[in-house]
């Protein structure tokens, strides 16, 4: 299995991080977004994790 994590170009609201994570794990992107919001509200570090992920995770290629 050769899966790679990319930011989604098709399923994105801000940077495509949640869409890319959802595609990687094969789940609905709405669930990932809800989990990320809960993580942000409960722990406070979700926003920082999202910013880091948006910088570190590469864009999805055209091919």
Q: What does the pLDDT read at residue 25? A: 92
35-49: pLDDT as tens digits: 989 988 887 788 888
pLDDT tier at 31 (50, 70, 90 boundaries)? very high
CA neighbor of 22 nearest in space, from 12, 7, 32, 35: 32
> In Å, how far are 9, 14, 48 from 40, measured between CA atoms?
23, 15, 9
1-24: pLDDT as tens digits: 678 888 888 887 888 898 899 999
Neighbours of 18 (CB within 10 A): 25
Domain ranges of the chain: 21-56
Does pTM top 0.85 for this prediction? no
């Amino acid at each position: 299995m050769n899966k790679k994590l990319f930011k989604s170009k098709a399923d994105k609201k801000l940077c495509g991080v949640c869409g890319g994570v959802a595609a990687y794990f094969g789940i609905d992107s709405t669930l990932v977004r809800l989990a990320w919001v809960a993580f942000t509200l409960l722990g406070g570090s979700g926003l920082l994790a999202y910013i880091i992920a948006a910088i570190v995770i590469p864009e999805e290629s055209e091919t």
